[in-house]
Amino acid sequence: MKVSKDQHFLVDAEAVALIASAIPVSNRKVLEIGPGKGALTDALLRNGAIVRAIELDRTLLLNLERRFSDHIASGQLEIIHGDASKVLLPEFELVVANLPYSISSKITFRLLETCFESAVLMYQFEFGKRMIAPPGNGEYGRLSVMTQTYADVEMVLELPPEAFFPPPEVRSIVVKITPRGPPVLIQNRSVHDTLVRKLFSHRRKTIKNGLRSMQNIYGESVMTNLVEDLPAKILEIRPEMLSVPDFIDLANRLSTLIS
Ligand code: SAM
């Protein structure tokens, strides 16, 4: 099995304690992705969590099984060997994890398609900042819109490279994600997804020009009708100024025209 090199272990005890107690975990089923040497696993178990951990690296997995053999025997801990972006996920209510950064995007979108109450996840700083960025901010993009459409996202703490061993080259950020329904009903999620992706692939273009460049997908007459019906204040701005409900409204207008 291919093992990622994402192996920077959190050694800052205060940070471990803060992450493990950012949400109440006692008697809750908690999914941990990439437990590594078990620093966070240990804190979660001490806080009374029922932990389901997925680890890709076999050597780390064997060490974890030795270290936590009593918790495994009692059923408080189960460790699954595999790639968290692919394996069948166990039943869980919460997620607490220092994610392997190479699968941050894949695993976040995978989690958002499942049903859970809340997640406390560590990301590379720039990635986490993009998740929480509001409209008008230079960091606001597809990741911000897609995350904020389906969840509330807030920062928990920032961590410097020295909080890990070996220290990575990048800073990290811990983010709390609380899934909820979209602020406005989305008629067709695939249309919404395509629209957000396409508009941000031309982030310097105005909405009007961005929509025109989608004629090859939805046809010239559909896109012309859509543009004609939109207020000028939407047409002349760039996608980074468009709010999450505005993106849904645009996608719903498009969905109506193609249905
Ligand atoms: N949670 C530990 C900590 O805070 O010290 C380790 C975090 S380390 C950044 C990431 C961990 O994820 C490593 O243990 C690595 O082996 C594991 N990992 C990497 N890719 C993975 C994947 N696709 N699925 C599950 N675990 C993975």
Q: In terms of Cα–Cα distance, which of 31, 70, 74, 27 is closest to 47?
A: 27
Torsion-angle region of 91 (φ positive above 0: left; ψ -120 to 50: alpha; else: beta) = beta
Overall pTM surpassing 0.75 (yes/no): yes
Domain range for 242: 189-258
For ligand 1, atom 23, which residue shows the shortest CA distance? 83
Of 200, 198, 210, 215, the closest CA to residue 236 belongs to: 210
CATH number at residue 103: 3.40.50.150
- Same domain, yes or no: 93 and 155: yes
> 98 and 161 in one domain?
yes
153 within a domain of the structure (yes/no): yes
Is residue 184 domain-resident?
A: no
Phi-psi region of 19 (alpha: psi -120 to 50; beta: other; left: phi over 0): alpha
19 C-beta closer than 6 A to ligand 1? no
Whether 102 maps to a domain, the answer reads: yes
Q: How would you classify the pairing of strands 172-179 and 151-159?
A: antiparallel
Domain count, the chain: 2
**What contacts 35, CB < 8 A, 6 or more positions away?**
41, 53, 55, 60, 64, 79
Ligand 1 pocket residue status of 96, Cβ below 6 Å? no
Mutating to test ligand 1, I would choose from 3, 6, 30 the residue with most ligand atoms within 8 A of its C-beta, which is 6
Q: Whose CA is nearest to atom 16 of ligand 1?
A: 57
Same domain for 248 and 211? yes
At 5 the pLDDT is: 59
Per the rule left: phi > 0, alpha: psi between -120 and 50, beta: everything else, 134 is beta
Q: Is 241 in the same domain as 200?
A: yes
- In angstroms, the CA 63 to CA 36 distance is 9
The alpha carbon of 26 and the centre of ligand 1 are apart by a number of angstroms equal to: 23
Tell me, in angstroms, the distance from the centre of ligand 1 to residue 165's CA.
13
The pLDDT profile of the chain, 259 residues, written as one tens digit per residue, is: 444 557 999 999 999 999 999 999 999 999 999 999 999 999 999 999 999 999 999 999 999 999 999 999 999 999 999 999 999 999 999 999 999 999 999 999 999 999 999 999 999 999 999 999 999 999 999 999 999 999 999 999 999 999 999 999 999 999 999 999 999 999 999 999 999 999 999 989 999 999 999 999 999 999 999 999 999 999 999 999 999 999 999 999 999 999 9
* Closest C-alpha to 97, from 116, 114, 132, 122: 122
* Distance (Å) of CA 135 to CA 57, 139, 145, 189: 39, 9, 9, 21
Same domain assignment for residues 156 and 55: yes
Give the H or E element holding residue 214: none
What is the H or E stretch that residue 34 is in?
A: none
Q: Which residue has the tokens 């720039």?
A: 126
Q: Do residues 159 and 87 both lie within one domain?
A: yes
* Helical packing angle, 244-258 and 142-150, nearest 10°: 90
7 lines ligand 1 (CB under 6 A): yes
pLDDT at residue 140 in the model:
97
